[in-house]
Structure 1
Amino acid sequence: MDLGITGRTAVVCASSRGLGRGCAIALAEAGCRVVINGRDAERLGETAKAIRDQTGAEIIPVAADVSAAEGRQAILDRAGEVDILVNNNGGPPSRDFRELDRGAIVAGVTQNMITPIEFLQAVIDGMTARGFGRVVNITSSSVLAPIPGLDLSSGARAGLTAFLAGVSRQVAGQGVTINNILPGKMDTDRLRGTFKFQADKAGLSVEEFAGKQMAQIPAGRFGSAEEFGKLCAFLCSAHAGYITGQNFLVDGGLLQRAF
């Protein structure tokens, strides 16, 4: 399917690996000019080359901390007019809520709520003026169902979801959509790090714990960054203009609910 976004400029935050990288690849395959981002310049350069070689797309790496104002500005300076924004950022490490001090809480909220809001503020007026914009926020299934140790991440991402629920309706009439993708257990470094925290508490090895987790998923496996990226690309497409303010759960059927 032609997604109708060839030549569009997409910014994908935290995209040197994991789900962000999956989104960047899918958007590059759709014909976008893609600005990718990460803090490790060497890893980011390797990712840029790999995506460029795989897709033939224009890939622009910007090594920067997306949580810092100067980092976001560096990305915007290289991107120019942004048509597509994929907000993504690492979350705070797994930690019992009793261990969180005020500084840790503020940092977590900055990473997973304030930063994507500030990035959106920087690009939204240009999108509405041009009559086209797509914003996808990578949040978490923990917004809907708590995960032990990720209370700070869950709370910050839930705050982002609630904040943008109203904003998405304000700009829908100007050709701009804002949606969220909620990953469940995806096969990423982040998942493995979470497993270590939980496995230690359960007295199991990471491999044993991972096997038990996989057995609980109706799909019988963890999700992949590739399939996650395909969904992101569709939500950014010309065909998704009537979809906004929605939360797309990608968890292999793990969270049991009818609505």
Structure 2
Amino acid sequence: MDLGLKGKKAIVCASSRGLGRGCAEALAEAGCDLVLNGRDEKVLAATQSELEERFGVSIQRVAADVSTRAGQDALLSACPAPDILVNNNGGPPRRDFADLDRDAMLEGTIQNFVTPVELIQAVVPGMKERGFGRIVNITSISVKMPIEGLDLSSGARASLTAFLAGVCRQLAPHGITVNNLLPGKMDTDRLRGGFERSAKLSGRSKEEVRAQQAAEIPARRFGNAEEFGQACAFLCSQHAGYITGQNILMDGGLFPAAF
């Protein structure tokens, strides 16, 4: 399927590895010129080189913390007029809610609520002028169901979801869509770190923890960055202009709901 994205410009935050990289790969495959972002310059450069070689699109990299004003300015300097914004950022580490102090809560809120809103504010005027825009926010299944130790991340991402529910409808007349992708248990570094934590707490091996968690998913497996990225690319495509304000679960059926 031709997604109609050849020559479009995309900023993909936190895209040197994991789900962000999966989104960057799918958009590059569709013909988008990219700005990649990450904190590790070496990993980021390797990702840029690989994607340039595979897809032949124009790629810039910005090694920066997207949660900072300087990091955001660097991204927007590299791509002042993006057609696509994929908001992604690492979340706060697992921690019992009773151990969260004010500074930790503010930092988590900045990471997973304030930062994506600020970037949306920055890119929307240009999207309005061009009559086209695609914004995809990578949030989490934890917006819909609790995950032990991720209360701060869940709260910040749920706040973003509620905040944008009205915003997306203000932007729809201008050809701009805003949707959220909610990953469940995806085979990423963050998930594997959870295996290690659960193994230590339970006295089991990481392999046992992994097998048990996979068995709890109706699909009987964890998701991967490639399929996640393809879903993101579709939401950014010319075919998805009538989809906005949606929270799309990618969880293999883990969240039990009829609606």
Pairwise TM-score range, normalised by the shorter structure: over 0.9
1:125 deviates by: 0.9
Letter paired with 1:221? R
Alpha-carbon distance between aligned partners in 2 of 1:167 and 1:199, rounded to the nearest angstrom: 42
| CA shift digits 1:74-132 (9 cap, x unpaired) | 01101121100000000011111111111111100100000000010000111011100
Alpha-carbon distance between aligned partners in 2 of 1:161 and 1:204, rounded to the nearest angstrom: 36
- Partner residue, 2:152: 152
Letter paired with 1:169? R
1:179 deviates by: 0.2
- Partner residue, 1:130: 130
8 Å contact from structure 1 (residues 94, 197) kept in 2 = no
Cα RMSD, aligned residues only: 0.8
Alpha-carbon distance between aligned partners in 1 of 2:159 and 2:192, rounded to the nearest angstrom: 25
1:183 matched to 2:183 = yes
Alpha-carbon distance between aligned partners in 2 of 1:106 and 1:205, rounded to the nearest angstrom: 35
Letter paired with 2:211? G
1:108 matched to 2:105 = no
1:52 deviates by: 1.0
8 Å contact from structure 1 (residues 214, 220) kept in 2 = yes
Alpha-carbon distance between aligned partners in 2 of 1:200 and 1:93, rounded to the nearest angstrom: 16
- Partner residue, 1:214: 214
Alpha-carbon distance between aligned partners in 1 of 2:197 and 2:157, rounded to the nearest angstrom: 20
- Partner residue, 1:252: 252
Matched residues, number: 259
Q: Match of 2:2, SS?
A: coil
Map of 1:54-93 to 2, 5 A cutoff? 54-93=54-93
Q: Match of 1:213, SS?
A: helix
1:250 deviates by: 0.2
1:256 deviates by: 1.1
1:227 matched to 2:232 = no
1:12 deviates by: 0.2
Alpha-carbon distance between aligned partners in 2 of 1:228 and 1:63, rounded to the nearest angstrom: 23
Letter paired with 1:137? N
- Partner residue, 1:240: 240
If the length of structure 2 is used for normalisation, what is the TM-score?
Answer: 0.98
Q: Name structure 1 gaps, 5 residues minimum.
A: none
1:188 deviates by: 0.3
Q: Name structure 2 gaps, 5 residues minimum.
A: none
If the length of structure 1 is used for normalisation, what is the TM-score?
Answer: 0.98
